[in-house]
Amino acid sequence: MAADLEAEVPAIDKSLLECSAEAAAAKWLQATDLPKEVYQHLTYYVPRIYCNGPNPAPQREDMLAQHVLLGPMEWYLCGEDPAFGFPKLEQANKPSHLCGRVFKVGEPTYSCRDCAVDPTCVLCMECFLGSIHKEHRYRMTTSGGGGFCDCGDTEAWKEGPYCKKHELNTSQTAEEEDPLVHLSEDMIARAYNIFSIMFQYAVDILTWEKENELPPGLEMVEKSDTYYCMLFNDEVHTYEQVIYTLQKAVNCTQKEAIFFATTVDRDGRRSVRYGDFQYCDQAKSVIVRNTSRQTKPLKVQVMHSCIVAHQSFGLKLLTWLGNVIGYSDGLRRILCQVGLQEGPDGENSSLVDKLMLSDSKLWKGARSVYHQLFMSSLLMDLKYKKLFAIRFARNYRQLQRDFMEDDHERAVSVTALSVQLFTVPTLARMLITEENLMTTIIKTFVDHLRHRDIQGRFQFERYTALQAFKFRRVQSLISDLKYVLISKPADWSDDLRQKFLEGFDAFLELLKCMQGMDPITRQVGQHIEMEPEWEAAFTLQMKLTLVISMMQDWCALDEKVLIEAYKKCLSVLMHCHSGFADGEQPIMLNMCGHSVETIRYCVSQEKVSIHLPVSRLLAGLHVLLSKSEVAYKFPELLPLSELSPPMLIEHPLRCLVLCAQVHAGMWRRNGFSLVNQIYYYHNVKCRREMFDKDIVMLQTGVSMMDPNHFLMIMLSRFELYQIFSTPDYGKRFSTENTNKDVVQQNNTLIEEMLYLIIMIVGERFSPGIGQVSPTDEIKREIIHQLSIRPMAHSELVKALREDENRETGMESVIEEVACFKKPGLTGRGLYELKPECTKDFNLYFYHFSRAEQSKAEEAQRKLKRQNREDTALPPPVLPPFCPLFASLINILQCDVMLCIMGTILQWAVEHNGYAWSESMLQRVLHLIGMALQEEKQHLENLNEENIVTFTYTQKISRPGEAPSSSPSILAMLETLQNAPHLEVHKDMIRWILKTFNTIKKLRESSSTSPVAETEENIMEESSRDKDKAERKRKAEIARLRREKIMAQMSEMQRHFIDENKELFQQTLEELDTSSSKVPDISPTVSDTKLTALGPEQTRVTEKRQVVTCILCQEEEEVKVDSRAMVLAAFVQRSTVLSKNRNKIIQDPEKYDPLFMHPDLSCGTHTGSCGHIMHAHCWQRYFDAVQAKEQRRQQRLRVHTSYDVENGEFLCPLCECLSNTVIPLLPPPRALFNRLDFAGQPNLTHWIRTVSQQIRTFYLLQDEESASSNCCGNSEKMDQLQLPEGFRPDFQPKNPYSESIREMLTTFATATYKVGLKVHPNEEDPRVPIMCWGSCAYTIQTIERILADEDKPLFGHLPCRQDDCLTSLTRFAAAHWTVASLSAVQGHFCTLLASLVPNEKHGNLPCILDIDMLHLLVSLVLSFPAIHCQDFSGVSLATGDLHLFHLVTMAHIVQILLTSSTEENGMDQENSNSEEELAVLALHKFLCQCTGSALKEISSGWHLWRSIKAGIMPFLRCSAMFFHYLNGVPAPPEIKVNGANQFEHLCSYLSLPSNLICLFQENNKIMNTLVESWCSNSEVKRYLEGKRPAISYARDSNKLIDLPDDYSCLINQASNFSCPKSGGDKSRAPTLCLVCGTMLCSQSYCCQTELDGEDVGACTAHTYLCGSGVGIFLRVRECQVLFLAGKTKGCFYAPPYLDDYGETDQGLRRGNPLHLCKERFKKIQKLWQQHSITEEIGHAQEANQTLVGIDWQHL
Ligand SMILES: [Zn+2]
Ligand SMILES: [Zn+2]
Ligand SMILES: [Zn+2]
Ligand SMILES: [Zn+2]
Ligand SMILES: [Zn+2]
Ligand SMILES: [Zn+2]
Ligand SMILES: [Zn+2]
């Protein structure tokens, strides 16, 4: 089998090519029995074209099929050459004005939130951009595939149905024109003939179920016996299982198995074996056997190759039909006609029916092909769309049944087409009235939920996995119901009424099965053993919530329907509760002279259910009666007399009591399932049709009954009746009963009950209950959300209810209640509540959770204090009730209520025991406040005719009647005002008393003057009050000031820590080391010119440096001979500066890093967090980490964010990822510098001396090797004259302490290991090179960052980088002392030879191919190895200076050779300065040296300018290098951005500001050297244009440019197909932000092998593009992905924000997204700073789940 994939395709049968399409068509045109003729053709040719061999050859097959099979059909159809025929058809066509573009997976789609009829109406990108909606509020999503553009569908859009492109077509065509008029009779007949034959053929063969036999008419005469073993897709088995099984069954490699598996997953089937029957059958049985263990086995069939061939062609044919009808709407109509024509078998025998009904039997690929054909034919023709919709509705039950048995996703099921049909308002209406669709859907749904209890209610308790799976699938039916209901009828026909009510009946039956389901009983004694299943019931409730709301919306539209629905609902409810009083004994309750009969029922003892959809629906309809005023208009038609308020309230009340008891801790033993249910009951997803409606039902009940009776029943259900009905029960209760828990429980229950009363009275913001508009309701929700704290748009949206159109209605009102605050660089935009809206704040808002309530209370009180107001939070003024509910207000002033209030106030006055709580009092005060507000409102709105019946103030002024003879409520309030233990509530009590007085005045004045006295007047009356207020105000001011200072301080801290981590660390460090740091400029040098190197170098006396170890907190001075101190450091390979991303180190073992190419393609970066430790402390720490990790990994097999085996650890202080440490050293140069400055040689002289020394060195080396080989060759030795003062035998003593030497080796080895990705080997001669390289590279990266941000060189570097560079440079300078002296000497010689050639080195890179900074650093840092043997009195500093000058000159030549300076007309400054003349001369000389290959340039100005620009980065880097090496402070001029930077730099670097002088001063030797550089053959090749070279200055690398509009990226990604699986759409297209490559991530198809492991496309790419580090944008998710190595990764916020300043990770909200440049810059900076790995480390430490993700598979 292994060879199968590569098996050669058999040669094409010549006879096939000779077949003439025209001739065949001609024959068909003559034929009498056309079908027979065509079938013969197919029988003969199809098996010859398709399926010849084990693997399909799609291109060849397509080519032949077009030629031999489709060609004749096209000829036949057109009656002429189709090359002419089709264009003619197209021209004659009057195309439909529908766009109908079918979406690809991942393609962006747009929906207008203002104009779309429902959210399923979408536009393609092209139509959207040409439509009016792009100026509207729109939503953008990515398509899941399937579905098409609704542009041009007038039913889909309230406005602007056409885009510019499709608008053109509308003017020409009259709406209902028959498209056939544009076709000739002949054409119609031919199309009809060929379409019916071919469509029939395709349907027959695709639905053919026999494996070894062909349909009639297609039987082969000579039957070749080849078979396929066909593997089918299912959603049960995983990729891994399939791959594993295939490897076993057909003996293929893993790679092939993966290929098969991906194809099966994509197309739905794939042959895995080809051969004779037995051979295939054998594979089949292995597969079946291997996969049958877990679940049902994989589907495998052994099929005759001819069948497979015909099926392949059948699919091709359907696609062909889809293409052909694209030429003409007439052809499309004919095809529709053919498809829907009833066949010989009557009902359901049309081709379309046949296909639909076999849908679940077809494989994925076949389904999607015919679905596509349906979409481009039936759904695009308005007439046939309707007929198709009818077929679909009639088959609905069967289709759903098939779907339920099928295991494929819904997206590939024909049932998914429902959205295309049911959302069209006219179709939906027609299907409801003519096909009774609503009832069909609901009944089908109910049919599929079979598990019921004895009362016929749904039972999910004992659901098996399979049932749970079906339950998930059946939920799509609810979506269908939603589609049908989504557009509401404007006018009703009797038919519609009747069919809707029929559907409503069915719906009530469904709700009836839910009423009372999942009942629960309180668990006492023991905790429940198993959490009961509750999710299914809630899922159902949640899914149905919108449908229930929509049902009510429909009812609201027609009075007749509403009345009927109300009656039906009531009767079902009564039926549900027919056994209402059974077994529940009636009892009599008496209180305050009132009595009522109820039943004995305790929530805490008997069964109770949260699911009461019938009651709640009735509550909703009741509100509609009020809202539509039907209740007043037709009272006689309503069964109002049948209503029994106690029956109505019973179950909702029980449910609310259950919540209260749960809150009081009485149901603890029932476990989390109950807690969850209570949570969802109140949650925004469910509450509208659960909690809210229960409140409405109670309001309905109260408004229809005596409030005293209501309250008594309520007390009884809360099990509090005893407490309030027995005088002095409270007292007894608190003294006798010592059970604290029970007292506490009762307290909570009382609080809850009071809260419930507050809600019943206060929640009147739904139209129909209170006199409000719908916007008032949403405004109130927003006000209360924002009372908690300012919120982002998405947070608000989440807290608000979405309607069926996914709208919250928020945008229309938000401006009125809130102000928007834009986001900064992090965080998001926030809405803040407008101050004038706080007066509407209600502390007991019913949608607050407990936590939200207390947060809101705190926030509001704080706000009041800030505004210097009292802190009372009185109830807001409420809108009046609608008449139907008006009487419920009396609950506040009824006797039982007054009794409850009085009792609780009495307890508060007595203040004894714990039978009383402050929140209880607070709620009573709130209720009193509500009553007062109500009375005040009544008085203020007093009309002539009505009298105020609400007389609360009078009632609370009366003392209690005998026997209790308690004081009046008012009196008790006055007492409480001065109670010391009620300080918190004082403001509220004061407010109550004040309002009471206002009302009294109002009442008194209402008869005489209508003007009410304002509150201020009352304030002024009492001067005592005023005094007190003044004192209070002052205290308040003082407190506020304190608070403000505290806030500022904490704000500052937060700012430091959060926003500016770097700075924070810096400050920490400053604190750490402030005592020891040397100030940058010591006073002794401040007035002299500062010079960084050379004999003129400014002398600085380095002060003692004492640092503290972060681990042991001990101090230590940094000295050569003390214990080593180290910085935590992270070394990584880097391509950040790379100019050639394709270059990677092929064989690291052989790679020679001595010369860095100027493309900087693979550098080694060192970073550090700057935290200092003792080397031995660190060693101990690291050993401990290592030991711990090993234990942990053995035990738990968990990963960590760092890889201990690779030497990684986290900095013990800041948890920064590190993998080695750098030793801290004193300036190393001082140790070797001899202080003799007399008579230093000039450059020429120096080069001569050094060359001599080098020659000696080589001779000695040869000598050595010779002597070790055989006998000594002392002759040469004698000839050799040692240069003066050169002592090659001198071995310098290492000045460093043992521990420092060890650390030098440690860091060097780490750099070598990471930089080259090799095993550590401290002996390798490349170790020192890697150290120098890392020093040079790190300096370069930092220079680039500073330059990009336009920052000066020094003074702006964060401390950690400054420390890092100091240590790194000093380390690199000291490293040679622990390396092999001769190796370093050898490196120096080779390096120098690249500029000063000698005979020993022939093959060095030419100067175009050397990065000069790397060369400089390596030369300077290796030079001491030679110099230490030189005792002639030449200073090391002299060497540094000459080396620097030499490299600088080389760089100038490099720049001149590669500069692309064009002489243009902008030569403005014709000054002919000294520099310009000099550079012209030099350029001329270069031209000579290159044999005039270098173009001559006459503008010195241009040349000088390009040298200055080109050399600047090098000079800046050099300045940093020498600064860190020698410790000479930078002159103040280069610490700021100012003029003459160049001159200042030159001066600091001991360079003449006319750089060309360097050449002139040393022209003797330089002419020779320059000549030698230019004569290199590579230079020649470059100048001849035969090879490229880097030119200067090199641009900084940036991340790619991103488009402003995110949908551009989505579109780009949707056009991207997987590069490996032939044109298939990638599922997770991911964009590399470094190089712009699009990758097919997280998918088997694009996995590759990396170091023996399979990795995803992203990980593989990071190794090519970023040496293991990568920054990607996951386009579908709108998420940035950071990867480092194979195991590290994290997600990062994308740089795209919506208009509300928020990101949308996962593209869930769909608001338009635009690029935020600042945030993108931030990501870019992370990359440039090499902080990606660090960022991942921090993210993983913060969120452990990130560690477990298999990043390498992305
Ligand atoms: Zn479109
Ligand atoms: Zn359009
Ligand atoms: Zn619009
Ligand atoms: Zn220490
Ligand atoms: Zn640290
Ligand atoms: Zn792929
Ligand atoms: Zn890349």
Read off φ and ψ for residue 1610, nearest 5 degrees. -60, -40
Any idea which of 639-648, 810-819, 1362-1371 has the lowest mean pLDDT? 639-648
Provide the pLDDT for residue 1054: 43
Ligand nearest to the backbone CA of 1174: 4
| Mean pLDDT along residues 817-842 | 91
Residue-level pLDDT at 183:
86
Position 825 confidence tier, pLDDT thresholds 50, 70, 90 = confident
DSSP classification of residue 1402? -
Q: Which residues contact 367 (CB under 8 A, 6 or more apart)?
A: 268, 359, 412, 413, 414
Mean pLDDT across 575-585: 67
What is the mean predicted confidence (pLDDT) over 414-435?
93
The rounded Å distance from CA 1378 to ligand 2 centre is 74
Percentage with pLDDT > 70 across the chain = 89
Q: How far is the CA of 160 from the centre of ligand 3 (A)?
A: 7
CA 1217–ligand 4 middle distance (angstroms): 20
pLDDT in the model for residue 417? 92
pTM beyond cutoff 0.85: no
1670 alpha carbon – ligand 7 mean position (Å): 7
| Amino acid 807: pLDDT | 85
Ligand nearest to the CA of 1631: 7
What pLDDT sits at residue 1419? 95
Q: Which ligand is nearest the CA of 1660, by number?
A: 7
Higher pLDDT, 478 or 254: 478
Residue 461: helix, strand or coil by DSSP?
coil
Check whether 550 has a pLDDT greater than 90: yes
Cα of 195 from ligand 1 centre, angstroms: 28
Please tell me the distance between residue 398's alpha carbon and the centre of ligand 5 in angstroms: 67
pLDDT in tens, 500-527: 999 999 999 999 999 998 899 998 888 8
Lowest average pLDDT, out of 195-204, 1242-1251, 1453-1462, goes to 1453-1462
Range 757-771 average pLDDT: 95
Residues 1712, 1655 contacting (CB under 8 angstroms): no
The interaxial angle of helices 613-627 and 559-576, nearest 10 deg, is 150
Cβ burial, residue 1328 (10 Å; 0-12/13-18/19+): buried
Residue 646 clears pLDDT 80, i.e. is over it: yes
- 20-29 long-range CB contacts below 8 Å, 24 or more apart? 21/67, 21/68, 21/71, 21/72, 21/74, 21/75, 22/72, 22/75, 22/81, 24/71, 24/72, 24/75, 25/72, 25/73, 25/74, 25/75, 25/76, 26/75, 28/72, 28/76, 29/76, 29/79
State pLDDT tens for residues 181-205. 888 899 999 999 999 999 999 999 9
| C-alpha 140 to ligand 7 mean position (Å) | 28
Mean pLDDT score, 306-326 = 93
> Tokens 């009363």 label which residue?
757
Tell me the pLDDT tens digit for each residue of 1389-1439.
999 999 998 888 878 899 999 999 999 999 999 999 988 888 877 888 888
Count of H helices and E strands in the chain?
A: 68, 25
Cα of 99 to ligand 2 centre, how many Å? 5
Is residue 914 within 8 A of residue 734, CB to CB? The reply is yes
CA of 1736 to the centre of ligand 7 (A): 18
Alpha carbon of 103 to ligand 6 centroid (Å): 20
Q: Supply the pLDDT for residue 443.
A: 95
The bound ligand whose nearest atom lies closest to the alpha carbon of 1138 is 7
Name the burial class of residue 1648, with classes exposed (0-12), middle (13-18) and buried (19+) by CB atoms within 10 angstroms of its CB: middle
Residue pair 810/847 in contact (Cβ under 8 Å)? The answer is no
Dump pLDDT digits (tens) for 722-759. Answer: 888 876 665 655 555 567 788 888 899 999 999 999 99
Burial (Cβ within 10 Å: 0-12, 13-18, ≥19) of residue 1412: buried
Q: Each residue of 778-788: pLDDT tens digit?
A: 999 999 999 99
Structure confidence at residue 1059 (pLDDT): 38
Per-residue pLDDT at 1409: 93
Tell me, in angstroms, the distance from the centre of ligand 3 to residue 102's CA: 21
Q: Output Rg (C-alpha) for the chain, integer angstroms.
A: 44
- 1222 CA → ligand 4 middle, Å: 15
Q: Which residue has the higher pLDDT, 580 or 458?
A: 458
Ligand nearest to the CA of 1648: 6
Quick one: pLDDT at residue 1057?
41
Q: How far is the CA of 1325 from the centre of ligand 4 (A)?
A: 32
Ligand 3 mean position, distance from CA 1609 (Å): 23
Q: Residue 1051: is its pLDDT beyond 60?
A: no
Residue 157 in contact with residue 150, Cβ under 8 Å? yes
Task: Pick the ligand that lies closest to the CA of residue 1634.
Answer: 7
Task: Please tell me the distance from the alpha carbon of residue 324 to that of residue 77, in angstroms, as a whole number.
Answer: 10
Which bound ligand lies closest to the C-alpha atom of 1597? 7
pLDDT of residue 852: 94
1617 CA to middle of ligand 6, Å? 8
Ligand that lies nearest to the alpha carbon of residue 160, given by its number in the listed order: 3
- Listing from the earlier edge strand, what are the strands of the sheet with 1669-1674? 1638-1640, 1629-1632, 1669-1674, 1679-1684, 1688-1692
Distance 446 CA to ligand 3 centre (A): 38
Give me the residues paired with residue 1715 across strands.
1696
What is the per-residue pLDDT across 656-684, written as a single tens digit (0 to 9) for each? Answer: 999 999 999 999 999 888 999 999 999 99
Q: How far is the CA of 1327 from the centre of ligand 4 (A)?
A: 28
DSSP 1369-1401: HHHHHHGGGGS-HHHHHHHHHHHHHTTS--TT-
Band the pLDDT of 1234: cuts 50, 70, 90.
Answer: low
Average pLDDT, the chain: 86
Neighbours of ion ligand 1 (CB under 5 A): 99, 101, 124, 127, 149, 151
Prior bond of 202 cis (ω within 30°): no
The count of residues in the chain is: 1754
Looking at the CA of 109, name the nearest ligand.
1
pLDDT of residue 1278: 55
pLDDT tier at 1081 (50, 70, 90 boundaries)? Answer: very low
Question: What's the pLDDT at 1515?
Answer: 95
Centre of ligand 5 to C-alpha 1686, Å, is 24
Helix runs in 268-363, H state only: 277-291, 305-324, 329-340, 351-357
Amino acid making up residue 1098: T
Predicted confidence (pLDDT) per residue in 1150-1197, tens digit: 889 999 999 998 899 999 999 999 999 999 999 998 888 877 766 655
Q: Which of 725-729, 1135-1139, 1358-1362, 1462-1466 has the lowest mean pLDDT?
A: 1462-1466
If you measure from the C-alpha of residue 101 to the centroid of ligand 1, how many angstroms do you get, rounded to a whole number? 5
Q: How far is the CA of 1110 from the centre of ligand 4 (A)?
A: 7
Provide the pLDDT for residue 718.
94
Instruction: Give the number of whichever ligand sits closest to the CA of residue 1116.
Output: 4
Tell whether the model's pLDDT for residue 1055 goes beyond 60: no
Handedness of CA 1522, 1524, 1526, 1527 (dihedral sign): positive
Separation between Cα atoms, residue 993 and residue 986, nearest integer Å: 11
Which ligand does the CA of 1633 lie closest to?
7
pLDDT for 1006 beyond 80: no
List pLDDT tens digits, range 932-987: 999 998 888 876 556 677 889 888 888 766 455 678 889 999 988 888 888 888 89
Segment 1107-1155, tens digit of pLDDT: 999 888 888 888 888 899 999 999 999 999 999 888 877 888 888 999 9
User: What long-range pairs does 718-724 form, CB within 8 A, spacing at least 24?
Assistant: 718/657, 718/660, 718/749, 718/750, 718/752, 718/753, 719/602, 719/603, 719/604, 719/749, 720/746, 720/749, 720/750, 720/753, 721/589, 721/591, 723/750, 724/591, 724/896, 724/899, 724/900, 724/903
**Ligand 3 centroid to residue 124 C-alpha, Å:** 14
Judged by its nearest atom, the ligand closest to the C-alpha of residue 115 is 3
Model pLDDT, residue 1128 = 94
